[in-house]
Amino acid sequence: MGQRAFNFREIQERQERLAPGHRMCAGCGGSIAVRNVLKALHPGDKAVVGNATGCLEVSTYMYPYTAYKDSYIHSAFENAGATLSGVETAYHVLKKKGKISSEYKFITFGGDGGTYDIGLQSLSGAMERGHDLVYVCYDNGAYMNTGIQRSSATPQFADTTTTPSGRVSNGKPQARKDLAAVMAAHNIPYVAQTTFIGNMKDLYVKSERAIYTPGPAFLNIMAPCPRGWRYETDDIIEICRLGVETCYWPLFEVAEGRWILNYKPKKKLPLEDFLKKQGRFKHLFVSGNEYLIEEFQQEVDRRWEELLKRCEA
């Protein structure tokens, strides 16, 4: 899809497809992600919205009511990709038979637990088969809905209920999985990583590209969780900014196999600026634990340099 002008006012005046009054927490990144992704749908276009079990599902859906203006399907933790694959296939069959004439877009949402881990197989299958749908991961870095247990998206040294920091542990020992790179390895038309920066232009533009690029697309959105990350609710946008400026969460896209860096900080900030605003990392700032921040910084630097090389190729 070609580049077109970004009109912030026009976008924000579009119909709200996620109704207010849902039960997401104040300061939750998941609701911000969903609201802005759905804003990328052009006025008048119809969509089928899928949703894996998780925080988003339990907070926006209580049978027979949903917070979505579009058709909505709740699937189990592990099969959001398979569910929307089936719906998209059925749509094309019915359209071929002349039973449906309207045009629909297919968008499914899942948290990192239902995407990086439990739902990875069905997500991979949907991408490999080439279904014309968008899978959106709202990545809050743990199984927040069931008690803040670690997932493979949880960053290194984060304190969770299954990787608690204390006398015998420094939090999660492993670095987070790079799921966007895993999806790019499927050779699908479009993959992007984004979060909430400035006027949401990066999030909106990538959402529109994902929705209107024919074939499978994947969006990975850093969506902070106030309970799991332990921050003041009004700090969410600042935390996202720091995630980008420290290169913990780079903004990039992979379009038809070409890696594109969307933003390079003029002055790369130290990782501790991002970590210190989150209670899940407070143990890293205890005297004697400086080496943990240094180790984390080295991993972030390594991944950043690797991304720069990919984008230069």
Tens of pLDDT, residues 70-118? 999 999 999 999 999 999 999 999 999 999 999 999 999 999 999 999 9
Q: Is the pLDDT of residue 54 over 50?
A: yes
Cis before residue 64, ω within 30 degrees of 0? yes
Q: How deeply is 69 buried, as exposed, middle or buried, from its count of CB atoms within 10 A (0-12, 13-18, 19+)? A: middle
So what's the pLDDT on residue 309?
97
What is the average pLDDT score of the chain? 95
The residues, ordered by sequence, that sit 6+ positions from 179 with a Cβ below 8 Å of its Cβ are: 112, 115, 116, 137, 139, 153, 220
Residue 40's CB is within 10 A of a number of other CB atoms, namely 24
User: What is the phi/psi pair of residue 249, to 5°?
Assistant: -125, 80
The residues, ordered by sequence, that sit 6+ positions from 72 with a Cβ below 8 Å of its Cβ are: 48, 49, 50, 51, 61, 66
So what's the pLDDT on residue 306?
98
Q: Where are the domains of the chain?
A: 8-312
Cα–Cα separations (whole angstroms), residue 42 to 37, 97, 104, 211: 11, 26, 11, 10
Q: Is the pLDDT of residue 235 over 90?
A: yes
Instruction: Look at domain 8-312 and name its CATH class.
Output: alpha beta
pTM of the entire predicted model: 0.96
Banded pLDDT at 1 (limits 50, 70, 90):
very low
